[in-house]
């Protein structure tokens, strides 16, 4: 039997006989002595085959990378000059007494310590990619995070309850993944986008503290931080106020970072309202490591002759904002052009700027193609509000507020990281007081900014019908270094309020009954005040590990085209399976006729 893991051997085991199992990381023949670096999930240890041990030596001569071995040997100190302090086992080696090949291996498509492997190859051979020390470390960290969360929640009275994977398709949110029913022909299950409704029903059921580390599914366009299936830490509790929920969850995240990655997050986390975050940072998930802020100028530009600024200032939903880059005057024309192209991604039609060369010279000390369109008073106000200094560069955004916020918000982050304005460390915060609704211009109706079950803020219930654009919610997001890692809210626990929200969202009574009758009925049976939050486990781990992609912290992820290169899923199914489901495939619009 195995007595030890390879990566756990050190001087404590000197002169002991041990048995190891693992994979050949490297085999080195030094002309008479063969070294085998044996690797398992805990790391690797150097073993040495002496020619005096004929059987072991002859076996070692035939061994290649990634063979699976059982090795028994004696732990001894490495000779002087061969110690490797970067390894836990770096002061010792194992003198092999017996060696057994448990399985051979083809030559792998890459070395396990190679960092320059294409992602496509890594995903195609994921079972080999997961042997790499970096991936082993990531998944071990994932385990530690999950365990730390479970311990904290258990100590605070939360109960782990599973909710269904096959459920009902509901409107709002992203597209559902649909599962046809063979028994109920023409009917479909949906894979859950979250356990939202079930965890609310658990509150009605009297399980006043619930949690689940669960898989969720969303059929949406993918990015580096998204997957069609992902894992969230799902939490719900009754009888706690918004502040109490936030304080408890903040405590959990602080405890998690301290215990798992030895990082002490501040206490308490700062809070920004949604309006403050958008006004100052152009984003509801601001990266506070970057001190740059947007400066409001809409009121200044209503009388200027520069048409782009004036028209934006006159729009009901328009905004003009500035972004001062300290000492940004050193940026070249090409860099400015590149940033202009960058903001175009977000719908910005241009990127006006002023270079502040010498303030003491007045207008002559400024450089900009738009100066001739601005009054001296307007320029003075711009310089005063931005607190401009010699050598600074001021960028401007002027358009619909949504475009300005997204464009300048993204530019702020990009410049902040590219030019050294970002501070090191971890900067968490809460964003609160979200609007209840956002306008869907294409469908000309309101959509829930969080989800339709979010409670309106105190005193805002009457606005749901009369002024839905002004209604605020009891929603809260936890943001860390510019990424939303958790989002939650106090829920609606009264049927009449829930019905009003459905009406504001243009969900008819008929549709509400069809989709949510079980919830509306449950709210009439003594539903307690309740609220909760869901944290993105994959996203938290991506940040903790410094991984470039969320795929690096998931054992078997999908590509950005929602495909599994390992199993070649999704795949086709045969006609018999389709017939059992009464499904007939139409012509693929992407296939040539």
Residue 364: phi and psi, rounded to 5, are -70, -20
Mean pLDDT of all residues belonging to the chain: 94
Domains 136-271+430-567 and 290-422 share a fold: no
Task: Kindly report the three-state secondary structure assignment for every residue of 22-71.
Answer: EEEEEEEECCCCEEEEEEECCEEEEEEECCCCHHHHHHHHCCCCCCEEEE
Pairing of strands 437-440, 445-448: antiparallel
Question: Cα separation of 561 and 273, whole Å?
Answer: 36
User: Which superfamily, per CATH, for 6-103?
Assistant: Nucleic acid-binding proteins (2.40.50.140)
The three-class DSSP label of residue 475 is: strand
Q: Is residue 592 predicted with pLDDT exceeding 50?
A: no
Spatial distance between the Cα atoms of 167 and 194, rounded to a whole number of angstroms = 10
User: Which run of H or E residues covers position 177?
Assistant: strand 177-180
* Matching residue, tokens 């090409």: 334
The predicted pLDDT at position 560 comes to 87
Where on the phi/psi map is residue 468: left (φ > 0), alpha (ψ -120 to 50), or beta?
alpha
What are the residue boundaries of the structural domains of the chain, listed by start?
6-103, 136-271+430-567, 290-422
539 is in an annotated binding site: yes
319 is in an annotated binding site: no
**pLDDT tens digits, one per residue of 125-150:** 999 999 999 999 999 999 999 999 99
Q: At what angle do helices 274-281 and 401-418 cross, to 10 degrees?
A: 60
d(CA 47, CA 35): 6
Tell me which architecture the domain covering 290-422 has in CATH. Answer: 2-Layer Sandwich (3.30)
Largest CA distance in the chain: 94
What pLDDT is attached to residue 36?
A: 97
pLDDT of residue 172: 60
Residue 571: DSSP 8-state: -
Instruction: State the pLDDT at residue 444.
Output: 82
Instruction: Flag whether 219 is marked binding.
Output: yes
Could you read off the pLDDT of 484-520 as tens digits, one per residue?
Answer: 999 999 999 999 999 999 999 988 999 899 889 999 9
Is 438 annotated as belonging to a binding site? no
Collapsing DSSP to helix, strand or coil, 509 comes out as: helix
Give pLDDT, residue 225: 67
536 is in an annotated binding site: yes
User: How far lies 544's CA from each of 262, 333, 484, in Å?
Assistant: 11, 37, 14
Q: Are 189 and 168 in contact (CB under 8 A)?
A: yes
Task: Round to whole Å and give the CA distance between 383 and 379.
Answer: 6
Lowest mean pLDDT, pick from 159-163, 269-273, 577-581 = 577-581
Q: What integer pLDDT is reported at residue 170 of this predicted model? A: 77
Residue 38 annotated as lining a ligand binding site:
no
C-alpha distances out from residue 557 to 45, 226, 565, Å: 30, 10, 9
Question: Binding residue per annotation — 175?
Answer: no
Architecture (CATH level 2) of domain 136-271+430-567: 2-Layer Sandwich (3.30)
What pLDDT, in 10s, does the model give residues 236-265? 999 999 999 999 999 999 999 999 999 999
Q: What is the pLDDT of residue 441?
A: 79
Task: List the one residue out of 231, 316, 261 whose CA is nearest residue 137.
Answer: 261
* Residue 236 marked ligand-binding: no
Instruction: Quickly count: other Cβ atoms within 10 Å of residue 118's Cβ.
Output: 9
Rounded CA gap, 76 and 10, in Å? Answer: 9
The answer to the question of whether 73 is labelled as a binding residue is no
Question: Which is higher by pLDDT, 170 or 142?
Answer: 142
For residue 538, pLDDT beyond 50: yes
Per-residue model confidence as pLDDT tens digits over 381-419: 999 999 999 999 999 999 999 999 999 999 999 999 999
Confidence of residue 340 (pLDDT cuts 50, 70, 90): very high
Range list of β-strands (E), 259-408: 271-273, 294-296, 318-325, 352-356, 366-367, 393-400
Give the integer Cα–Cα distance in Å for 108 and 129: 10
Kindly state the average pLDDT of the residues 193-200: 95
Whether 16 has a binding-site annotation, put simply, is: no
Is 129 annotated as a binding-site member? no
Question: Is 220 among the annotated ligand-binding positions?
Answer: yes
């Amino acid at each position: 039997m195995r007595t030890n893991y390879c990566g756990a051997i050190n001087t404590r085991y000197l002169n002991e006989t041990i048995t190891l199992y693992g994979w050949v990381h490297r085999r080195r023949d030094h002309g008479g002595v063969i070294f085998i670096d044996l690797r398992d999930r805990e790391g690797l240890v150097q073993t040495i085959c002496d020619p005096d041990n004929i059987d072991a030596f002859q076996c070692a001569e035939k061994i290649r990378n990634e063979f699976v071995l059982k090795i028994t040997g004696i732990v001894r100190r490495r000779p002087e000059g061969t110690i490797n302090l970067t390894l836990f086992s770096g002061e010792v080696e194992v003198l092999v007494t017996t060696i057994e090949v448990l399985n051979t291996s083809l030559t792998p498509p890459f070395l396990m310590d190679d960092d320059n492997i294409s992602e496509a190859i890594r995903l195609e051979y994921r079972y080999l990619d997961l042997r790499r020390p970096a991936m082993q470390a990531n998944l071990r960290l994932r385990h530690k995070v999950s365990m730390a969360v479970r311990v904290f929640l258990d100590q605070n009275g939360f109960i782990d309850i599973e909710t269904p994977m096959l459920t009902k398709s509901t409107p709002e949110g992203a597209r559902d993944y649909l599962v046809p029913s063979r028994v109920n022909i023409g009917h479909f299950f949906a894979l859950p986008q979250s356990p939202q409704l079930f965890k609310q029903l658990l509150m009605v059921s009297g399980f006043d503290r619930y949690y689940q580390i669960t898989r969720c599914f969303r059929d949406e366009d993918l990015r580096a931080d998204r997957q069609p299936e992902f894992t969230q830490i799902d939490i719900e509790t009754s009888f706690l106020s918004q502040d109490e929920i936030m304080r408890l969850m903040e405590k959990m995240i602080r405890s998690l970072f301290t215990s798992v990655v030895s990082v002490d997050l501040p206490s308490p986390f700062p809070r920004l309202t949604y309006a403050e975050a958008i006004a100052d940072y152009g984003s509801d998930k601001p990266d506070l490591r970057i001190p740059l802020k947007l400066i409001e100028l809409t009121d200044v530009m209503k009388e200027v002759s520069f048409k782009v600024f004036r028209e934006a200032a006159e729009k009901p939903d328009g905004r003009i904002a500035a972004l001062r880059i300290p000492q940004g005057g050193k940026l070249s024309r090409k860099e400015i052009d590149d940033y202009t192209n960058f903001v175009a991604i977000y719908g910005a039609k241009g990127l006006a700027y002023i270079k502040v060369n010498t303030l003491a010279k007045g207008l002559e000390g400024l450089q900009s193609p738009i100066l001739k369109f601005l009054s001296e008073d307007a320029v003075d106000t711009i310089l005063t509000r931005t607190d401009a200094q010699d050598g600074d560069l001021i960028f401007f955004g002027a358009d619909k507020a949504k475009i300005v916020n997204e464009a300048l918000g993204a530019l702020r982050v990009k410049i902040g990281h590219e030019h050294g304005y970002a501070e090191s460390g971890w900067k968490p915060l809460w964003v609160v007081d979200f609007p209840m609704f956002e306008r869907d211009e294409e469908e000309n109706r309101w959509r829930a900014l969080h989800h339709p079950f979010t409670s309106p803020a105190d005193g805002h219930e009457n606005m749901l019908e009369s002024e839905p654009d002004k209604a605020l919610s009891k929603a809260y997001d936890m943001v860390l270094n510019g990424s939303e890692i958790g989002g939650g809210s106090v829920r609606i626990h009264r049927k009449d309020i829930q019905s009003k929200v459905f009406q504001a969202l243009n969900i008819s009574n008929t549709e509400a009954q069809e989709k949510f009758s079980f919830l509306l009925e449950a709210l009439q049976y003594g539903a307690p005040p309740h609220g909760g939050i869901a944290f993105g486990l994959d996203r938290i781990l991506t940040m903790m590990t410094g991984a470039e992609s969320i795929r690096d912290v998931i054992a078997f992820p999908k590509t950005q085209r929602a495909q599994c290169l390992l199993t070649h899923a999704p795949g086709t199914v045969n006609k018999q399976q389709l017939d059992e489901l009464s499904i007939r495939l139409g012509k693929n619009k992407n296939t040539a006729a």
